[in-house]
């Protein structure tokens, strides 16, 4: 049986900076339970547009992961950010307490009110709003959304990709997972997870963040386009910044087949705040980095 773990409840990461709070919480948890392996973050404020969710998830995962690394937890320390949930009843059996800011009026989900709470006194500061304009998308804007990747050693960046795909969808999420034939030349292939393991981890994560009337379908990717190249009924494709050119190729292929083009939703990768293509996405945690750690652990 999986051991229980804590959740951190925050109200509105679009308006407030929770960095100090996160540091206090993780330091306390590490002192209390150094062997802790999982923590959930619950955002109580409803998020309405994709850019806002991308901002929140990127910042939260980045800050918590860096602090976890500083404290000695490695990439296997699981961080899951939950948002816009119709019900949190699925978390009841897995949580042992909910940690929140004492003075913040964040509402504990009604399904979790019988779980022990811990209030922490600390200040949060308003975030300066950006005037950057972008082509944001609304919650559940598309009937069918696609997302793809290797999903090897499922990490925070994968979770953001999957979360944005779920957020944008009102009916079906199509997930493409790279098959073994396309991974032969991957670095540190000796510690690459099997297709079955990668699929199981994706399914487990989706089952945690999907609790309303959305279905998902999983396909093995054996060519560049995967399911977007042969399933006509898809509306949008979610990709990371570093994979954005792949969206152009997918639409070129779909045009050749007289399929409708996809809206390509490009999301920010996790890493240094100044990461971009020119600096090779500085600071981004990747499956390759994780495999390198595993290879060093087992073969050196």
Say if residues 214 and 142 touch (Cβ distance below 8 Å): no
For residue 221, count CB atoms less than 10 angstroms from its CB and return exposed for 0-12, middle for 13-18, buried for 19 or more. buried
Query: What is the span of the domain harbouring residue 176?
Result: 142-267
Q: What is the DSSP letter of 49?
A: B
Q: Between 233 and 272, where is the model more confident?
A: 233
Both 85 and 146 in a single domain? no
Using a pLDDT cut of 90, give the percent of the chain over it.
73
Q: What is the pLDDT of residues 74-122, one digit of tens each?
A: 989 999 999 999 889 889 999 999 999 998 877 899 999 999 999 999 9
Task: Quote the mean pLDDT of the chain.
Answer: 89
Whether residues 122 and 194 share a domain: the answer is: no
Q: Are strands 263-267 and 236-240 parallel, antiparallel or unpaired?
A: parallel
Quick check: is 229 in a domain?
yes
**Residue 292: inside a domain, yes or no?**
no
The H or E element containing residue 120 is strand 117-120
Mean pLDDT for the stretch of residues 263-277: 68
Domain boundary among 102, 126, 150: 126
Residues 119 and 169 reside in one and the same domain: no
- Domain check: are 190 and 97 in the same one? no
Helix (H, G, I), strand (E, B) or coil at 169: strand
Q: What confidence score (pLDDT) does residue 77 get?
A: 95
Average confidence (pLDDT) over 208-223: 90
Q: With respect to residue 242, please indicate whether it lies within any of the assigned structural domains.
A: yes
Q: Do residue 112 and residue 169 come from a single domain? A: no
* Same-domain check for residues 107 and 34: yes
What's residue 169's pLDDT?
Answer: 96
Assess whether pLDDT exceeds 80 at residue 281. no
Both tokens assigned to 75? 């990439």
Do residues 166 and 90 share a domain?
no
Dihedrals φ, ψ of 18, to 5°? -105, 15
Higher pLDDT residue, 287 or 151?
151
158 shares a domain with 241: yes
The two structure tokens encoding residue 36: 């802790």
183 and 227 co-located in one domain: yes
Task: Using the predicted structure, report yes or no on whether residue 279 has a pLDDT greater than 80.
Answer: no
Q: Is residue 294 part of a domain?
A: no
**Is there a single domain that holds both residue 167 and residue 79?**
no
In a domain, 281, yes or no: no
pLDDT (mean) for 12-22: 96
pLDDT (tens digit per residue) in 116-137: 999 999 999 998 766 665 667 8
Q: How far apart are the first and last CA of the chain?
A: 33
Q: Is 215 part of any domain? A: yes
The answer to whether 160 touches 288, Cβ cutoff 8 Å, is no
Q: What would the two tokens of residue 153 be?
A: 């050693």
Total structural domains within the chain: 2
Q: Which pLDDT score, from 0 to 100, does residue 107 have?
A: 85
Between the CA atoms of 200, 205, 209 and 215, what dihedral angle is there, to the nearest 10 degrees? Answer: -20
- Tell me the pTM: 0.90
Q: For residues 62 and 10, state if they share a domain.
A: yes
In a domain, 48, yes or no: yes
- Round to whole Å and give the CA distance between 47 and 126: 17
Give 35-67 pLDDT, tens digit per residue.
999 999 999 999 999 999 999 999 999 999 999
Is residue 282 assigned to a domain? Answer: no
Same domain, 153 and 58: no
On whether the CB atoms of residues 148 and 226 are closer than 8 A, the answer is: yes
CATH code at 209? 3.40.50.620
Q: How far apart are CA 278 and CA 66, in angstroms?
A: 23
């Amino acid at each position: 049986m999986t051991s229980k773990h804590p959740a951190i409840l925050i109200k509105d990461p679009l308006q407030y900076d929770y960095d100090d709070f996160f540091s206090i919480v993780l330091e306390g948890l590490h002192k209390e339970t150094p062997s802790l392996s999982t923590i959930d973050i619950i955002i109580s404020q409803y998020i309405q547009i994709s850019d806002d969710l991308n901002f929140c998830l990127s910042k939260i995962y980045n800050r918590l992961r860096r602090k976890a690394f500083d404290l000695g937890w490695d990439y296997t320390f699981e961080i899951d950010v939950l948002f816009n949930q119709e019900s949190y009843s699925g978390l009841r059996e897995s949580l042992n307490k909910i940690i929140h800011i004492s003075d913040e009026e964040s509402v504990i989900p009604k399904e979790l009110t019988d779980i022990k709470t811990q209030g922490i006194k600390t200040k949060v500061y308003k975030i300066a709003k950006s005037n950057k304009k972008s082509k944001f998308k609304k919650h559940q804007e598309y009937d069918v959304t696609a997302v793809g990747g290797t999903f090897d050693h499922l990490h925070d960046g994968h979770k953001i990709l999957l979360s944005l795909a779920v957020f944008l969808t009102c009916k079906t999420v199509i997930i493409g997972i790279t098959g073994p034939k396309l991974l032969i030349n991957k670095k540190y292939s000796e510690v690459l997870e099997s297709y079955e393991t990668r699929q199981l981890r994706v399914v487990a994560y989706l089952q945690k963040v999907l609790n309303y009337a959305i279905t998902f379908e999983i396909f093995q990717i054996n060519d560049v386009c995967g399911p977007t190249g042969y399933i006509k009924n898809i509306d949008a494709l979610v990709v990371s910044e570093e994979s954005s050119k792949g969206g152009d190729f997918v639409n070129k292929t779909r045009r050749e087949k007289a399929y409708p083009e996809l809206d390509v939703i490009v999301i920010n990768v996790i890493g240094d705040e100044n990461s971009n293509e020119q600096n090779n996405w500085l600071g981004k945690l990747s499956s390759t980095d994780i495999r390198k750690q595993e290879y060093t652990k087992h073969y050196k």
